[in-house]
Structure 1
Amino acid sequence: EDNQKAGSTANELGLSNVGGVFVVLMGGMGIACVIAVCEFVWKSRKVAFEER
């Protein structure tokens, strides 16, 4: 009985249990987008300065 109870509770993953995963994913995606924009601006300014 104990093994069945442990297995059934392990399968009960609702939105409240995995909500933190989505928060971390969205935070990481946000940081990645900010870094990508900063790299694009930095590279654009560097190329524009070198072409002068």
Structure 2
Amino acid sequence: MIVLGIILLVLGYVLPVPLLITLGWILVVIGVVLFVLGAVGRPVGGRKVWF
């Protein structure tokens, strides 16, 4: 999710499309939150580990 967000951010800044920039930031933030929750051992979505 983080990688997809970064790709959308880059595309949004290369092609000046505000929607891509907004979606990219949202995906990056959600990805970082899920990563941090998973790293501290808190179950995310009923699972302790995402494969």
Q: When the two structures are superposed, what TM-score results if normalisation uses the length of structure 1?
A: 0.48
Structure possessing the higher relative contact order (Cα contacts under 8 Å, 6 or more residues apart): 2
Q: When the two structures are superposed, what TM-score results if normalisation uses the length of structure 2?
A: 0.49
- Larger helix proportion, structure 1 or 2? 1
